[in-house]
Chains A and B, each alone.
Chain A
Amino acid sequence: MLVKVRLFARLREIAGASELARSVPAGATARVLWDQLAVDFPALEDYGNVVSCAVNDDYARLTATLNEGDEVAFLPPVSGG
């Protein structure tokens, strides 16, 4: 199934894109999608233990199951303020 990936800050720079389309198996979790991205962009592996994610503009767990057409954002550690 197709999902849309959004990347921010350093993660966006590593991938060279703020948005990507990806195909993942039905029932895949956000973590599965992340691991798939980390194969394409190995520098993402540094963020495996600190990345946050959001699905359709709400914070979500990496264990969240994805659905067709979901927009999945991956967020490096934040630094607002």
Chain B
Amino acid sequence: MPSTPRETTADGRYRVTSKPLDSTVITRLVSAPGCGAVVTFTGLVRDANAGRRVLWLDYEAYEPLALKAFEQIGDEAAGRWAAVRLAIHHRTGRVAIGEASVILAAASAHRADAFAASRFAIERIKQIAPIWKHEHFEGGEVWIEGATADPLDIAAREAAFERACS
């Protein structure tokens, strides 16, 4: 049976929350004595999309599955870049223009792996995280629909690795 809904993993590294995001928190969650590099990425809500004036976004998430997707992304990154440690926090609910919708941190011994893993993580979030943007713009609203989520799609995962390393 489904587990009780929760918004964060036990170690705090993966979180889905209606509260503002804090990149100092996420940096601390991945830092360790052996880490020489932490790369953080912040995704912000933009005021324009596809020729529309965006007013705000409402994010909807399937929380327990989103946390599992984030854990999968962390495992995939650690499998590709030894000792890389990821944290991902994503907003739900209404997010205003200029506010962070997603923050992530990738820690590693050296900068190259941390940069690559952070790029991989955001590409992979867009592929398999069960989260949706409802865009409110001047004159209407629309659900943004990107990738069909399939965590077993090897070609998609390899495309994310490719973007991370190009």
A81 to B125, CA, bound (A): 7
Q: Is B43 touching A8 in the complex (CB atoms < 8 A)?
A: no
B157 → chain A, closest Cβ, in Å? 13
- In the assembled complex, which residues on chain B have CB atoms less than 8 Å from the CB atom of A40? none
0/1 interface trace, chain A 64-76, chain B, CB 8 Å (1 if under): 0000010101011
Stretch at the interface among B29-37, B79-87, B140-148: B140-148
Q: Is A80 touching B131 in the complex (CB atoms < 8 A)?
A: yes
- In the assembled complex, which residues on chain B have CB atoms less than 8 Å from the CB atom of A8? 60, 62, 130, 132
Give the interface size class of chain B.
Answer: 35 or more
Q: Is B145 touching A76 in the complex (CB atoms < 8 A)?
A: yes
Q: If A54-B130, A81-B102 touch, does A75 touch B149 (CB 8 Å cutoff)? A: yes
Which of A50, A58, A79 makes the CB contact (< 8 A) with B65? A58
Q: Does A41 contact B (CB under 8 A)?
A: no
A80 to B128, CA, bound (A): 9
Q: Is B60 touching A9 in the complex (CB atoms < 8 A)?
A: yes
Q: If A77-B145, A77-B149 touch, does A71 touch B2 (CB 8 Å cutoff)? A: yes
Q: Is B132 touching A81 in the complex (CB atoms < 8 A)?
A: no
Q: Is B149 touching A59 in the complex (CB atoms < 8 A)?
A: yes
- In the assembled complex, which residues on chain A have CB atoms less than 8 Å from the CB atom of B61? 80
Q: Is A80 touching B125 in the complex (CB atoms < 8 A)?
A: yes
Closest 3 CB pairs of A and B: A80-B131, A9-B132, A77-B145
* A52-B130, A59-B68 given; 16 more Cβ-contact pairs under 8 Å: A13-B143, A52-B149, A59-B69, A59-B150, A73-B65, A76-B145, A78-B128, A78-B129, A78-B145, A78-B146, A80-B59, A80-B129, A80-B131, A81-B43, A81-B101, A81-B126
